[in-house]
Chain A
Amino acid sequence: MLTLLLILIPIAAAVLTLATGARLAKQVALIGGLAELGLAVFVWSQFDPSAGSQFAFKYHWLQSAGISFAGGIDGISMVLVLLTAFLTPFIILSAFGHDYKNSATFYSLILFMEAALIGVFTATDAFLFYLFFEAALIPVYFLAAVWGGENRAKVTFKFFIYTMFGSLFMLVALVYLYYQTPGTHTSELTAFYNLQLSAHSQGFIFWAFFIAFAIKMPLFPFHTWQPDTYTESPTQATMLLSGIMLKMGVYGLIRLLLPIVPLGVETWGILAVILSVIGIIYGSIIAIQQRDMKRLVAYSSFAHVGLMSAGVFSVSANGLQGAMVQMLAHGINVVGMFYIVDLIQARTKTRYLDQLGGISQSSPQFSVYFMILLLGSVALPLTNGFPGEFLLLSGVFNYNAWLGAIAGLTIILGSVYMLRLYQKSMFGQKSNWVEGFKDLTLSESLILIPLVVMVFWIGIFPNTFLKISEPAVNQILQIIN
């Protein structure tokens, strides 16, 4: 029941936001987001990691076809539900400084998106998963397309078609799997796990799933929609895309791809890891050369997700656990980074590194928060990036030492582009654009402080979160073997 409530609260809040109109939209949306966070924390407090799927709900949906509206929360879901519920209020808050037209629609779309994301992370029925997976696309498409930058029509269109294309293949695979289930057919995920498929058909299903999730994350070479979309979207949509939606892809790998087609992973997994590792290096190198800050963060996100996917495809406890904690950390860091970029852009009217410089001179607080979030992204020990990246790299290394070594370059390359970003914008000669740069206001620090607290919390006590997902991850590994 609690799970259903988690999906329904954002929907109710979204409808309420629409109904109250532009004047109170912000406040209503924020209250909705906070209520959801409260509930998520409550669910967490009741959650027993070793008990498998909990708080389940199940209703008949297409009864004769054995398709049900069913969800539940296990350890893997719990982490991502927490992430979604935690980030959404900040995403809403970060929009307070902007003056968006039709703000009621804007905020309600964010909340609709949250509902769909929670739905993806909690669905235990394959078709319900698919439905939410697709439904999440619509609010974010409109957020990006209506409130985005100049090129938005073309860029978001590409994004939409690209992601739709991928997921339709997943639909074919799901329909095929559904017809392989015994008896009157069912689309429960656990039934899919128990299927005994030939290695040949697992190969096809592997690719159908892989393309869908690889486009969503995105992995090399399916990433071409990503930098443009991240750059053209309003910051809030970018945060949703990079902070949470990207995790749908990784989650899909862990929840569907690995346990359903283990033989496919055995055959083709190495190729997936290679693609992921190429993405890490490729993304990092391009990030080093960017002059647009938003693009730089976008490419850094592309590099990070490559490492997560490589870890997942290593099919080891370390790799999967690393991906779990890294999803959490990356979500927080990337939302923080995009917020920082947004703040700089709002104050200086530019995002280009060569026009910036010397911001730190007039804004000590801002520099400190920026530095902490940045170090989190670089994966310095004691920050949130470290435990995840460490586990992921050890997972990949055990899988294949060469690939592990290449993937390890991410630590060096990551610090190069991140520190370059910091250096070019914060230090050096004060440029004309930066004149009169004000330090953080109280409300802005209120957004950044919780993010920074999370950076340290996950960095110093990763076990708080690792132990949530550990039994569920082990269960997935057991199914695979």
Chain B
Amino acid sequence: MYPIVLLSVFGIASLFLGFSKSKNILLPSVLLFLALALAGNFIDWNQGQLLYFYDMLRVNNLTMAFNGIVLVSAFMIVAISGGFQDNADSEPAEYYGLMLFSLVGAIMMIGFEHLIMLFIGVEILSVAMYVLTGSNKRNLRSNEAALKYFLMGAFATGFMLFGMALLYGATGSFSLTQIQSFVLTSHVASPSYILYAGLLLLLIGMLFKVSAAPFHFWTPDVYEGAPTIFTAFMSTVVKTAGFAAIYRLLDHSFTSIYSYWWIVVAAITVLTLMVGNIGATSQNSFKRMLAYSGISHAGYLLIAVTALSKPSQNAIVFYSLAYSLATICAFAVLMLVSKENTLEGQPDERYDAFNGLAKNNPFLAFVLTVSMLSLAGIPLTAGFWGKFMVFTSAADRGIIWITVIAVLMSTVGIYYYFRVIIASYLRDGNVVKIRVAPFFQVILVLATFLTLLFGIAPGLLEGLI
């Protein structure tokens, strides 16, 4: 609850800070806001199950852990945004305000106890993201992306609302707990098909937000068109919140009808893994590849959802964390490199822009390598343990075949993640020495360090939740 209140107030505060003459006060204050929200988040730590806002929001260690991941990701992204000072058109105060508001939405999604709360959360998050996607107003790509995201997103929201309405019709309540008790009791006596339909439509709406196939078509264009910093935000915060919400919904209310929905989710999982990984191989743009990589990671996370076994919860938390750290590093390096190289007046986001990166920028090449290794799931990085836990969750449920598909797809993944490593170490190119701001550097070091630390000692986070 605390971060919701704090972030709402801070969001408004940062809008007002935009009036301030001094340009240099905004970024530090937003970072301070996020740090305070992060501290506020953990006030309820180890207090058991708490319900706030007339039983509409649940707070427990799991939701706080997800909030923590989202807030830390946001902190890192804001820290590397550099105050948006390189673009004359930009409106930093508005951007930061929207980011803080969207975090409110994310936190509502993570802890929802009432479907209306879920809907409000999704909308707060999404509307802010639509605007941020189109924030590069003079860029056609950015505008196109925003429109596409908005149209498709609105459609998905429609499905979601329809699903909620059907669920309400079937169960007579929006509350997760009451839906659960309905599923456990009355539903057993006389199965309600409206319930199945409602659940399916609701899932479609949520799977759209995490860009699972076949609801992924917006992802590559939107990720590519949006300014890189917001793409990073989208691919970490939105995805983590989305998966927290999906896990919460299914785990809390629908475990007893697992046999009905699991095959649907399993099919979507397999499709997502294939679309994401195979789609990524044919990209020439690093940024677009990261979009497809985002789809493929949604697939890995969906494995844990499909299995919904004991290790699933830890798997989703750990995987989201590992994925967010690595993705932020990747986008950060992309931002630095693409700013140096331009292609027809636009930042060059192709693989070729990374040619010879290691020669003059060994640090950036190292950071990029670690993040790629983590995304590819190579041991000694956090990404490996993420994949490992996801696979064990599937094995715990006894679904080995899905793991075999995932493993095949991981091999495909190595192919496209290594292309950029090869470009930066083995190809000749002339990337000049890139100046990295000290604070930027601290974030990169921190994210890389954490990726390696969790790769070597995954037990550190164990038993917290």
Contacts and interface: CB of A to CB of B under 8 A. Distances in A.
B391 A175 contact: yes
A460 interface: no
B378 A134 contact: yes
Interface stretch (A163-171, A327-335, A338-346, A448-456): A163-171
A62 B425 contact: no
Given A63-B459, A157-B422, A179 B395 contact: yes
Nearest to B403: A172
A178 interface: yes
Contacts of A146: 425-426
A142 B425 contact: yes
A62 B459 contact: yes
B411 A165 contact: yes
A349 interface: no
A61 B400 CA distance: 24
Nearest to B393: A175
Contacts of A134: 378-379, 384
B459 A60 contact: yes
Nearest to A148: B426
A469 B311 CA distance: 39
Chain A: interface secondary structure? helix
B345 interface: no
Given A62-B458, A138-B378, A175-B403, A161 B415 contact: yes
B438 interface: no
A65 interface: yes
Contacts of B400: 172, 176
B410 A131 contact: no
A109 interface: no
Contact of B463 (A64, A145, A168, A172): A64
A135 interface: yes
A130 B408 CA distance: 17
Given A145-B425, A160-B418, A176 B395 contact: yes
Contacts of A63: 459, 462-463
A175 B410 contact: no
B177 to A, nearest CB: 27
Chain B CB within 10 A, most for which of A62, A142, A145: A62
Interface residues of A, number: 30
A247 interface: no
Contacts of A172: 391, 400, 403-404, 407
A158 to B, nearest CB: 10
Contacts of B418: 157, 160-161
Interface residues of B, number: 30
Nearest to A179: B395
A171 B407 contact: yes
Interface in A245-286: none
A157 B422 CA distance: 9
Chain B interface mostly: helix
Contacts of B426: 145-146, 152-153
Contacts of A64: 462-463
Interface string B407-447: 11011001100100010011100000000000000000000
B161 to A, nearest CB: 40
B422 A61 contact: no
Contacts of A152: 426
B463 A130 contact: no
Interface string A67-101: 00000000000000000000000000000000000
A176 B403 CA distance: 10
A41 to B, nearest CB: 29
B380 interface: yes
Nearest to A170: B407
Contacts of B44: none
A162 to B, nearest CB: 9
Contact of A161 (B391, B395, B414, B463): B414
A168 to B, nearest CB: 4
Interface in A120-143: 127, 130-131, 134-135, 138, 142
B392 interface: yes
A135 B380 contact: yes
B296 to A, nearest CB: 15
B388 to A, nearest CB: 8
A202 to B, nearest CB: 14
A164 B410 CA distance: 9
B329 interface: no
A145 B422 CA distance: 8
Contact of A138 (B373, B395, B415, B462): B373
B396 interface: yes
Nearest to A166: B411
Interface string B369-380: 000010000111
A60 B462 CA distance: 11
B125 to A, nearest CB: 32
A157 B425 CA distance: 13
5 contacts: A134-B378, A145-B425, A146-B425, A172-B403, A179-B396
Interface of B: 311, 373, 378-380, 384, 388, 391-392, 395-396, 400, 403-404, 407-408, 410-411, 414-415, 418, 422, 425-427, 457-459, 462-463
Interface of A: 60-65, 127, 130-131, 134-135, 138, 142, 145-146, 152-153, 157, 160-161, 164-165, 168-169, 171-172, 175-176, 178-179
4 residue pairs, one from A and one from B, having the closest CB atoms: A134-B379, A168-B407, A165-B411, A153-B426
